[in-house]
Amino acid sequence: MNRSPDLQRLLIIGLSGPIIALNLWLLSQIYRYFENLITVLLASALLALLLNYPVRLFERTGVPRTRAVIVVLFLTLTLLLFLGVTLLPSVIDQTGQVLQKIPAWLETSRQNLEALDNFAKQRNLPLDLKGFSGRINNQIEQQLPTLPSQALVLALGTLGGLLNVILILVLAFYMLVYGDRLWNGLINLLPARYGIPFSQSLWLNFHNFFISQLLLALFVTAVLIPIFLALRVPYALLFAIVIGVSELIPFIGAALGIALVTVLVLFQNVGLAFWVAVLATGVHQVRDNVLAPKMMGSFTGLNPIWIFVALLTGLQVAGFLGIVIAVPIAGTIKTTLDIVRGINQLDEERWEDEELSG
């Protein structure tokens, strides 16, 4: 007996859920087993994607591609060394100072909240700021003892990090020189009906989203550094970088970064925290409403709910790296499916026309 199309559709939808969940679980297990290798490969691919633009600029001036790649990588390495000598020590130093001062800030905030709580009780206001602050302080204080050990692990992992940087640069060099042939070979393994749309969609999404997101994060960081310095915000460099890095997380990253920095400044100066929140939010609004539409547009076409699902899935599978690349991957899947669906509809219409004409 033939099943109705609706029943077949329900069966497909019902089976697709467990299959997708199983595949996601399998991907997470594979990622955890090959985490370092996958991270190095993805970082190399993203770096090659970024450096391909200056390489093309050199090629337009008549420089051979291999020589252009060498020049660009040399300039990139020089920039990284300059940042490592000038910027990185300041960030590490400010991070250490912030971690050391958190207990004193918690004590100050507790005293301020106790005074505000007493003020509320004298006027019979239903507030329990003292209990609320005590619960938050206990949670933070429970995490503080683990910070020195985590810092030690980070320090011990510095050598491994340097080796990974070298591997990333070497792999990026080979990807820039031989990446087109490798990519074309992989795409040719797929049927042309799927391979060509997938290749175009992947390039479009990562080009529009990731590159634009990175440039916008650099814009926010560069604007906030002089603003925080002018306001005499403590640890201005560190806080500006925290907000800038949080911009890499789509939709919710900016709010999380601004909230975190505002709370840290609030421990020191309430009025200064207000201006930090207002000005950081203003810069973010310029980024969202002026620059982002011109650079990114609404290219993904994803429903906001699916975007959050993609972010949570990326976090579960690959942590912060998964969050950064979750949206372009989801956009790639959607765009590829839309293109393939359009091709199938054209084929069906052409087949129907041929039947009618025959």
Per residue in 100-112, pLDDT tens? 777 777 666 666 6
Are the CB atoms for 137 and 10 separated by under 8 Å?
no
pTM over 0.85: no
Mean pLDDT for all residues in the chain: 77
Both 97 and 230 in a single domain?
Answer: no
Q: Name which residue leads in pLDDT, 3 or 177.
A: 177
- Closest Cα to residue 66, out of 175, 185, 207? 175
Q: Residue 301: is its pLDDT beyond 70? A: no
- Closest Cα to residue 201, out of 336, 73, 303? 336
Percent of the chain at pLDDT > 70 equals 74
- Closest Cα to residue 265, out of 277, 253, 254? 277
Residues 6 or more apart in contact with residue 30 via CB below 8 angstroms: none
Both 279 and 136 in a single domain?
Answer: no
Neighbours of 179 (CB within 10 A): 18
Q: Residue 156: is its pLDDT beyond 50? A: no
Q: Name which residue leads in pLDDT, 156 or 172.
A: 172
Asked whether residue 130 is assigned to any structural domain, the reply reads yes
Q: How confident is the model at residue 125 (pLDDT cuts 50, 70, 90)?
A: low
Q: What pLDDT sits at residue 152?
A: 44
Q: Residue 141: is its pLDDT beyond 70? A: no
Both 155 and 124 in a single domain?
Answer: yes
Of 169, 189, 209, which one is at a domain's C-terminal end? 189
Q: What pLDDT sits at residue 177?
A: 87
First to last CA, the chain: 31
Both 139 and 62 in a single domain?
Answer: yes
H or E element that contains 306: helix 304-357
Asked whether residue 132 is assigned to any structural domain, the reply reads yes
Range of 173's domain? 24-189
Residues 6 or more apart in contact with residue 167 via CB below 8 angstroms: 40, 44
Asked whether residue 1 is assigned to any structural domain, the reply reads no
Q: What pLDDT sits at residue 154?
A: 47
Q: Residue 19: is its pLDDT beyond 60? A: yes
Both 207 and 255 in a single domain?
Answer: yes
Both 44 and 88 in a single domain?
Answer: yes
